[in-house]
Structure 1
């Protein structure tokens, strides 16, 4: 069911409490029409409100607890006490995002609760629940794994928690009503297109994209690389390399380099940085020169500048992303009923020593 005007959980809770104070009881059928949300959503709301001691559920609706309405503020919350941040890595990409979150949180007197998961974790809800129950999180910035069977349940849990939340570098729709979740993302498709245009400007005509498997960013890069290459008339191929930490990486990367020679490729875009640096080292060991024989652009710019040569790279604005995510939380608190904001940030192409006009 598509309900673009449906209020979020916090404002629904206030509306239900106002109706209870006025009428003493509420019916789900009536609330469905008044609030414009599904029966399933309202049942979840009432279940959570009963757990919080605000209502007692009865058949078809809810009533006030014995003794009358509990203390309940009708005014929206305007500050964050502790923001829970859940990201898939504590050592790569995300520390810079966290820096931006911490800057904003410190300025507003909020604590940051950091938890790292992994792309292998199937269900992140227990981690989020503990952050609320044991650590006092009252807002969330989350980068969930969107490739598991529980992905929709995680977003649903965030929605049903009634707490403000923002997705970082992720997009999702609410499972119940298909309304977009609030999010801040980098325009990775644009970043890939920028790389393609740079290579074309240098005179390259046969190029390649090298990515790793199971990366949400890789999918967005591919979505921008293909039309970006087409726009400037590049002949482009795509390759998937084994994870750099696996035993298969060396053989996988060598096979790709052999294919690049066969296809007369003179430039590549590689995601992420670590794989780009490793492929450059392997190319140099095989007698190729960078950028003489092969120009290389890395995607992420986390460690690309440390290469020899320093790698030209697409730089996502990670710290700005963290700041923007916290600001979205504040905006949601200030106006709980506003439309979902989805902020798209523009990456930067950092020019260094690994790209040059082709020799042939």
Structure 2
């Protein structure tokens, strides 16, 4: 290395030291710099003069202070790094928008950007969607509601496990490919069904029924809680009727609802829990068409409470805490991102029952 290169290198180090001292102390003194750097006062005065010409500092007697421009620049806070989390849910209409709004509100409050994608309940393998999400941006964490009822469910769990990206499942209970629990936030849908059964029992209903919209993780949990409640309350099984309706788009939907109503009336059912709101509204409409009065002849509780209060009669409904589920998912993910070694958290939130006009005591 030539002498000129050595001088340049030493000058750069002196400059860095001076800038650090200015930022830390707000001023530098030549006497202190002599002690710190082991160079002559003449060398330091030459360094400070050059930095003054560059507008970095202003020389004062015995040392220097930051220039106004440098002080102003130092006072401007740096833009915080914005981390991106990716969210994949099975639908962007009905139920999930409330969850997503909770996520977005919490993410904004915590300085996160949300990259949202919707899939569908019919999607058999979410891995291609997840791969595109991860490839599109630098993703710091994932919130996913995977389809747990497909042949590829274990493959998706393995992909999430091997991705190395902090992940929280929402409204899904699952384990990793290795069998370990996965961070998750869910609604206690079984409790929601129990609340509905207890409400009907408290009104005096002894013969009750359950109508489910499809065979899904949510409907299975509702059925589990309902069965436990009707047993504990001695409302079944002989006094209990259960049916699963096809998709509302099916040409058989109306016929299936009427068949279910026939079975309910034949069994003397006076109270129903119906998942979800649109199915409950269809049951009410078709019951009224047949001269079955709601709630006088048949009390009906909807499960989801998305639009139940807007119907006539306003439907008594079990209301999952959708926004809180979304906010909690983001909070869990942030803690997982900050501390990957902390114990796995599996949070379960309770729904509530909102009593309205569609339930009453059965006719005497």
Which interval holds the TM-score relative to the shorter structure? 0.7 to 0.9
* SS of equivalent residue, structure 1 residue 320: helix
Partner of 2:100, secondary structure, is: helix
1:220-239 maps to which residues of 2 (within 5 A)? 220-235=221-236, 236-239=240-243
Q: CA deviation at 1:251?
A: 0.5
Query: Does the Cα contact within 8 Å between 1:132 and 1:138 map onto a contact in 2?
Result: no
Map Cα deviations across residues 292-329 of structure 1 (whole Å, 9 max, x no partner): 10000000111111111010000000000000000001
User: Could you say which residue in structure 2 is the equivalent of 1:112?
Assistant: 114
Q: Report the TM-score, using the length of structure 2 for normalisation.
A: 0.76
The CA deviation at 1:281 is 0.5
* Aligned residues between the structures: 282
Secondary structure (helix, strand or coil) at the match of 2:139 reads: coil
User: 2 CA distance for matches of 1:267 and 1:250?
Assistant: 20
Q: CA deviation at 1:241?
A: 1.4
Structure 2 residue 354 is the aligned partner of structure 1 residue 354: no
* Equivalence for 1:188: 189
Q: CA deviation at 1:94?
A: 0.5
Q: Is the 8 A contact 1:79 1:333 kept in 2?
A: no
Task: Supply the distance in 1 between the matched residues of 2:251 and 2:328 (Cα, whole angstroms).
Answer: 39
* Distance (Å, rounded) in 2 between the aligned partners of 1:104 and 1:240: 36
Aligned to 2:88: 86
Within 2, Cα distance between the matches of 1:307 and 1:336? 46
Aligned partner of 1:242 in structure 2 is 246
Among candidates 260, 263, 272, match of residue 259 of structure 1: 263
Report Cα offsets for 1:207-247 as digits up to 9, x if no partner. Answer: 00000223210000011000111111113221111221210
Corresponding residue to 1:102 among 98, 101, 104: 104
Separation (CA, whole Å) in 2 of partners of 1:279 and 1:329: 40
Q: Please give the alpha-carbon distance, in whole angstroms, between the structure 1 residues aligned to 2:112 and 2:203.
A: 48
What are the ranges of 5 or more consecutive residues in structure 2 without an aligned counterpart? 1-79
Cross-structure match for 1:29? none
- Give the 5 Å matches for 1:174-323: 174-176=176-178, 178-235=179-236, 236-323=240-327
Comparing 131-140 and 261-270, the one that deviates more: 131-140
**1: distance between equivalents of 2:259 and 2:231?**
25
**1:127 and 1:137 mapped to 2: Cα distance?**
14
1:161 maps to: 163
Which segments of 5 or more consecutive residues in structure 1 lack a partner in the other structure?
A: 1-77
TM-score, normalisation: structure 1: 0.77
Distance 2:221 2:189 in 1: 6
Any idea what SS the aligned residue of 1:204 has? coil
SS at match of 1:213: coil
Q: What's the counterpart of residue 122 of structure 1?
A: 124
CA contact (8 A) 1:80 1:139 kept: no
Tell me the SS of whatever aligns to 1:319.
helix
Q: Distance in 1 between matches of 2:123 and 2:140?
A: 23
Q: Report the Cα distance in structure 2 between the residues aligned to 1:79 and 1:101, rounded to whole angstroms.
A: 19
* Counterparts of 1:306 and 1:144, CA distance in 2: 31
Asked whether 1:335 is paired with 2:359, we answer no
Determine the structure 2 residue equivalent to 1:345.
Answer: 349
Partner-residue secondary structure (3-state), 1:209? strand
Contact preservation (8 Å) 1:174, 1:181? yes
Say which one has the larger Rg: 2
